[in-house]
Structures are given as structure tokens and as C-alpha cells.
Amino acid sequence: MAASASRVFVSHLAGSAVFDPNGDQVGRVRDLVATLRVQRRPPRLLGLVVELSTRRRIFLPMTRVTGIETGQVITTGVLNVRRFEQRPTERLVLGEMLDRRVRLVETGEEVTVLDVAVQQLPARRDWEIDRLFVRKGSERRVALPWKDGGGRRAGGTFRRKGETLTVEWSAVDGFSLEEHGQGAESLLATLEQLRPADLANVLHHLSPKRRAEVAAALDDDRLADVLEELPEDDQIEILGKLKEERAADVLEAMDPDDAADLLAELPEDDKERLLTLMKPDDAADVRRLMAYEERTAGGLMTTEPIVLRPDSTVADALARVRQQDLSPALAAQVYVCRPPDETPTGKYLGTVHFQRLLRDPPYTLVSSILDDDLQTLAPETTLPQVAGFFATYDMVAAPVVDEGGSLLGAVTVDDVLDHMLPDDWRETEFHQEEGAPRAAG
């Protein structure tokens, strides 16, 4: 191993690709496993938590690591694929050590851990945590008066962060104590590039305490996206630990059908209280969805498809399709309806598929290129019938229309799959198969 790689900060390892000796990628680093030692001796790094392409998390002992370079880890190629189970004496470096508040032994001053460095011991394959990158004090806002261009007094604030420094492990104390209210800023900085489904996987494997702290640190939109990818039990647990006003904000940011599914699992009093706190329009959408049976087109649909008026152009449609927050399934087609534009709309006229939009000039009216032969789904259409419709017509989304001809929403293929798979499919995906306890390596 190159000498330059003998010490590595763990923030640089998070998400790194793991390769076997042949250069084939076997997974990505999701965390590091260490064990604390007495008398402030540096913790021993036991191994890495590696997420395989199947989302199974396995333990890779450091004795099987032959090289660590920028953005990649090289292994001996011999992997034990049993599911990783954290032991009581072990600590997850990213999940549990980052953002910890500890104290400097010499001064007693409180510092926050921003990063952790691990070092390979000379002439051995053993690794240990030897240094910490910390920040003194805490971030705070400071008032700053100044004069504007006209010489008038003005004011403002800026964020002042404490001094940062790198210290030896032995220079701090407090990792063995339980901490309440641990932040998550540094951990989230290492995970910011993850897709919502992958971040959900990270949260699922954290302790309930740490999961709640990370959820509290996410903004509403990001947390909403992550909640939609979590198993039901985790969703309920996280929502229950948020303040009610924040929980209502997160529910508003979720897709209405996902919010309705989550609220349906809560006690009636909690459900009504949260719906009352939501914006009236958002709450109305969710209530409308909750009125349908869960395993019907009405219960599966989203109330926010792309709706256009007949006099809209192809350019108008493409501009709507380009919106970044749309799922691929919802962006696959637009629905042309008479006013009003919000669901339930005026008379539904037909659908225009994305491929057709790409083939016609920008000034073309969408009403002139409608697919009006495609059958629609009634809100009471059962899940098996919906699945058959998707299979028959090779659709990724389908309109749901009531008896009066108004568009109520659209069912997407991902929602069909969610409800056709076993109720615990996310849990199964996260956990994979059970295995015998791993070897220490």
C-alpha cells in the first residue's frame, strides 16, 4: 500500500467503490466499524460496512483490505456475504462518531467531531483511529451593524463558526458516554450525493436515536423523499419523533398518495391532528385519496399529474415535463383537460406521450396530437385489473377518470409495484437473507 494512503479521513471513504483484485466492483463503503479501548488508547478499526449491488450490507475485515486509494478500496477478493450485524462493543464511525460533542482533556473545552482519521500501523494490516478533526464551541449567529451605500445605518447577521483543529485521539474524552441531541451536519455532508433510496437505506441501519437526529437535520423536501423509500415501521417512527408542525410540513412535501398511505397507518386522532395542521389544499388531496380503498386505482393514484389545456403547445408540455421534481413515470406523458386544471379537472380529452412531444414542432397544439383511444381507469378499478392494464398497453402511467369525465389523477407503475409486492418487501430488500454471526476477521 502506498505510504500516502496510510492515513485516511473517513469522509473521503464514504461511498467509495470497493473492488476485487481483478478490478470488478463488488460494492460501496457505507461505514466503518471500530471498537473503543480503555485509557484513551486509539480505537481499533475492525473493518468496513460494504453495501453490495443487492443492497445487502456485509462486513469487510481490514485484514482483507489490500489497498486504499482516492475513491476506491481494493480487497483480497474473498468476501463473507453474510449480513452485517453490529455488536454491542462496536461503534459505527460515520453513523455514531461524526457530530459527537466531546471534550479536550487539557482544557475541558467542548468540541464537535467533524471528521475522523484512520491510520494503518507500520508493517501490519491493523488500522486504528488516531486523529480527529474538531470544531471548538458551536456555530452561532452574530449581529453585525454596518452602513449602506447612502451612509445610513443598516444591520444583519452572519454565521460564526468556532476554530477548527486536528487533535490526537488521546487529546479528547467522552466517546464512551451516551449523548442526547447529537447533531448530524457532518454525517449528512458525507451522504449528500446519495439518492433518496440509498439514504433511506443508511437511515434504516442507524440506531433509532441516531435515525431521529439525522431525520431532524434533513430539510423537509429531502426527508419527504427519504420517507417514501423507507419501510412502514421506520416511517411511523420518524414521523412520530418530529414536532407536529414539522411532521405536517413533511407530509405536504410528500407525494399525496404516499402521504395518504402513511397517515392511514396512524391512530385516528394523530391522523386528524396532522391533517388539520397541513395546508388546506394539500390536506384536501390527501383526504380525497384516503376515501378510496387502498388497493384500487383511486387509492394508488397521485393527484398531481401534468395537466394541460387544449390550447397549450408542445413547447408548453416539454417545459412541464422538464421539471426536476417529477418522477420519470409522471414525466412520461401529459393529460389534456378542459379547465379547471387542478384535479378533479374539467372534461378529460386525452393523453400525449413524451415521445410524441419530441416528434412534433414546438408550436403544435397538444389538442391536435392527442391519444384519445387509450382506455382510462375508473377509481374503483382493482389492483389486479390495474396491473393487467399496464401489462396490456406497456404503460408506465395511466389516467384515472370519474363517471363525469373528470381526471382525478394518474397511477404510475412504481405505485403498482409497491402494492403488488409483499407488504414487507422494503424490509426484505434491506435485510436480505439471515446468516450466521460474522467472524471478527
Q: Indicate which CATH number applies to the domain containing 88.
A: 2.30.30.240
CA-closest candidate to residue 336, choices 326, 347, 350, 322: 350
d(CA 240, CA 204): 15
- In this structure, is residue 243 part of a structural domain? yes
Q: What is the pLDDT of residues 263-320, one digit of tens each?
A: 999 999 999 999 999 999 999 999 999 999 989 999 999 999 999 999 999 999 999 9
Q: What is the CATH number of the domain that holds 218?
A: 1.25.60.10
**What radius of gyration do the chain's Cα atoms show?**
26
Same domain, 284 and 311: no
Return the exposure string of 307-345: e unless at least 16 CB atoms fall within 10 Å of the residue's CB, then b.
bbbbebbbebbeeebeeeeeeebbbbbbbbbeeeeebbb
- In this structure, is residue 163 part of a structural domain? no
Q: What is the pLDDT of residues 380-394, one digit of tens each?
A: 999 999 999 999 988
Lowest average pLDDT, out of 55-59, 60-64, 78-82, goes to: 78-82
Q: Tell me the longest C-alpha to C-alpha distance in the chain.
A: 78
- In this structure, is residue 245 part of a structural domain? yes
Q: Scanning the structure block, which residue is given the C-alpha cell 385489473? A: 385
- In this structure, is residue 396 part of a structural domain? yes
Strand, helix or coil at 45?
A: strand
Same domain, 282 and 317: no
Q: Provide DSSP, 218-268.
A: S-HHHHHHHHTTS-HHHHHHHHHHS-HHHHHHHHHHS-HHHHHHHHHTS-H
Number of structural domains (the chain) is 3
Strand, helix or coil at 73?
A: strand
- In this structure, is residue 186 part of a structural domain? no
Q: Helix, strand, coil: what percent of the chain each, to 5? A: 35, 25, 40
- Final residue of a structural domain among 111, 132, 162: 111
pTM, 2 dp:
0.71
Domain that holds residue 65: 3-111
- In this structure, is residue 70 part of a structural domain? yes
What's the mean pLDDT in 250-257?
A: 94
